[in-house]
A and B are shown apart, each in its own frame.
Chain A
């Protein structure tokens, strides 16, 4: 069925191949990506949890697989992972709901 689906888990292994069709941009991206996740003002562990939350928000199945595994490797607990996902989900639903103010403004403006 894999060839009938837009997503194949095995494609994650081929991610590096994007460089083959545009070496300069691909290399710049992976250098940047690697640098972002190094220890810095934030720990690599904290960045892994941020990446996991964002993976859910952008609904990237490859990223969810990758950062769940990354979290396990770092000893991050499932409670910590789920809290990170909720943090992402809360921002995402908040972003929807805050538009409710726009709706209210418009409603009020149009109503007598």
Chain B
């Protein structure tokens, strides 16, 4: 397991430009594989355009208590990029006026932003239909000051979405770090005990599954059944839905693919699994991603690649939905990750 971010290690792949170069060179430059733009042109879907905005996803900062091997954010304890109160205030103004029905807080560990609780309290007054916090689970057990998070989430009717790469200790710890599995199980017990994840409970608890290696996720429905049976039988844990998410070839996962000599094979798998019907619902068409510094992106992945929206308005402080929605979505070869098989988004499959 890595103990510091690529940025801290000053690794080549901490640089977004270098990542984009790698994704455009080699097999995509010698016509071995078609670029994503070529592929969606053939499907009559280029340029990709946003539809009605449904989800506003805000990245509260790249600081995290974990350093996961596959992290597309390159998050970790050493990352200092944190959204300021001023920018959070600007987000609140936008939430007040947007017709988007889902607010999705992510990070890093969003709970580590010092203004997190204030922001949740303020945002929850604005009548959001679905208020998501992407919690890595271990944060709940990381420090005494986070122990009451399950109650806090319950108080504001937060929809908790948490990562869980496998129902076995070995696979989970391999991807997310030693001890992560046991802490996650404890956190899930605590969420269950306040009412989260129970059948029929309005306190929604969903899990995210990312493959722990250079392979694509299996059928979401089958995986959900396996997760539910195993977590119930072994630990008495309940949850609502499982979202199977494909690892996109950027940041730490790209670094892993190259270092393990799996890059080409993985890209072949993604391209071979390209499914044009996913293009109708890929998340960049209904989501807008706000970076820790207030800049706007088509998705969290484009944010990490520093590809700001192709609009004359690029910052939350100057937000105008009509102007921002009238744009072309920026694509590169990492986008194949969202269109493989049944597709992939922060809400799971899309096809």
Contacts and interface: CB of A to CB of B under 8 A. Distances in A.
B268 A75 contact: no
Contacts, number: 25
Interface in B195-234: 211, 213, 215-219, 222-223, 226
Q: Which of B171, B211, B213, B218 neighbours the largest number of chain A CB atoms within 10 Å of its CB?
A: B218
B166 interface: yes
A38 to B, nearest CB: 12
Shortest Cβ-Cβ A-B pairs, 7 listed: A73-B218, A74-B218, A72-B215, A73-B215, A69-B215, A75-B226, A73-B216
A9 B265 CA distance: 10
Contacts of B168: 77
Interface string B306-321: 0000000000000000
Contacts of A77: 168, 171
A88 B223 CA distance: 26
A51 to B, nearest CB: 15
A77 B238 CA distance: 22
17 contacts: A9-B265, A13-B268, A13-B272, A44-B222, A69-B215, A72-B213, A72-B215, A73-B211, A73-B216, A73-B218, A74-B219, A74-B223, A75-B167, A75-B218, A75-B223, A75-B226, A77-B168
Counting chain A CB atoms within 10 Å of each CB, the highest count among B167, B222, B223 belongs to B222
Given A72-B215, A75-B226, 18 more contacts: A9-B265, A13-B268, A13-B272, A44-B222, A45-B222, A69-B215, A72-B211, A73-B211, A73-B215, A73-B216, A73-B218, A74-B218, A74-B219, A74-B222, A74-B223, A75-B166, A75-B223, A77-B168
B217 A73 contact: yes
Nearest to B227: A75
Interface in B141-188: 166-168, 171
Contacts of A75: 166-167, 218, 223, 226
Interface of B is mostly: loop
A34 to B, nearest CB: 15
Contacts of A73: 211, 215-218
A16 to B, nearest CB: 10
Interface string A56-73: 000000000000010011
A45 B222 CA distance: 9
Interface in B228-275: 265, 268, 272
Contacts of A13: 268, 272
Contacts of B265: 9
Nearest to B268: A13
B172 to A, nearest CB: 12
A13 B265 CA distance: 10
Contacts of A69: 215
Interface string B106-126: 000000000000000000000
A9 B223 CA distance: 28
Contacts of B216: 73
Contacts of A45: 222
B339 to A, nearest CB: 17
A73 B342 CA distance: 13
Contacts of B171: 77
A44 to B, nearest CB: 8
Contacts of A9: 265
Contacts of B222: 44-45, 74
Residue with the greatest number of chain B CB neighbours at <10 A, chosen from A9, A44, A72, A75: A75
B108 to A, nearest CB: 27
A13 B218 CA distance: 19
A50 to B, nearest CB: 17
A42 to B, nearest CB: 14
A13 B219 CA distance: 22
A75 B172 CA distance: 12
B193 to A, nearest CB: 27
A9 B213 CA distance: 19
Contacts of A72: 211, 213, 215
Contacts of A44: 222
